[in-house]
Structures are given as C-alpha cells and as structure tokens.
A = this chain, B = another copy of it.
Amino acid sequence: MSFEIIAATEKDCGEILRFINELAEYEKMSDEVVATEELLREWIFEKQKAEVIFAVEDGRKVGFALYFHNFSTFLGRAGIYLEDLYVMPEFRGKGYGKALLKELARIALNRGCGRLEWACLDWNKPSIDFYLSLGAKPMDIWTTYRLTGETLVKMAE
C-alpha cells in the first residue's frame, strides 16, 4: 500500500467539490453548500484565494485539506488557516488526517508563517480530542461574527 500527499491542480475541481459536500454532510450543513466546480476553478485556481492538498492511497484520493493565508497583527506575519480537513470514513484511523496536518505545519514553517489554525464544531468531540492531543490550543475566549447575504448588502449601503 502506498500513501502520498499531493497538491491539487485545476483538473481536480470535481474531486474537491465532492469532498466539500461529504464534509458538509458530516457537519449536518449540506443545505449551506452552493459551491460549484466553476466557482472553485475561478476562486482557487484563477484568483488563487486558497490552496488544496490531497491524501492519496494507492493512487486514489481519500481525503483533502483546503487552506489559505491568514494574518496575525500580533506576530506581524501571515499564518496558515485550514478551512476544511476531511478523510473519507472508510479510510479513517490510518493517520491520513494527521499526515495532512503535518504537511500544513511544514508548509507554514517553510513559508515563515507563525501559526496554523482551524475551527472545529463544538459537538465534534472525536476531532476536538484529536486536536488537543496534538497540542493545539482552543481559542475559546473569541467568537466569530459574520455578515453575509442581505446583512452584508445592507452594511455596504
């Protein structure tokens, strides 16, 4: 059995969308997904607003991580923010999630970034336990606020 991590290219948008939908289903948020292959092609590969790596077992893509650069004003430098991390259920427990995270930690250090961050749903105890075991620190004194759709349009007026 072989395992490797590879960077996604423009021809992978269908696979990326499949993983996004599978993760949304696990998160019980499928009704929020409006992404399409076309949008992913435009925003990831043309406008370069995110990057994607795949976990590949014996030539088959079994998981992915989508990430982008965030920025810490305290550190005065960029970080890496992991937006989605997903491994197909039948391939879990083999270390692929951790391998994807390790690769992101390497990318962060290679680029001189100061942090690797991501968000986790508060009910997702298996993932939280996994993250804590890696030494990740919960930033639980902060809450994220969001304007979207009508409230965003109203704010711009």
Q: In whole angstroms, how far apart are the Cα atoms of A121 and B146 in the complex? A: 14
Interface size of A as a range: 35 or more
The verdict on A108 contacting chain B, using a C-beta distance below 8 Å, is yes
The verdict on A118 contacting chain B, using a C-beta distance below 8 Å, is yes
Give A28-78 interface residues, CB cut-off 8 Å to B. 29, 32-36, 39-40, 42-44, 47, 49-50, 66, 68-78
Q: In whole angstroms, how far apart are the Cα atoms of A146 and B113 in the complex? A: 13
Interface-central residue, A71, A102, A105, by most chain B CB under 10 Å: A71
Residues of B with C-beta under 8 A to A5? none
Of the A-B pairs whose beta carbons lie under 8 Å apart in the complex, a sample of 11, sorted by A's number, is A17-B76, A39-B75, A70-B81, A105-B156, A106-B156, A118-B145, A119-B142, A121-B141, A122-B141, A122-B142, A135-B154
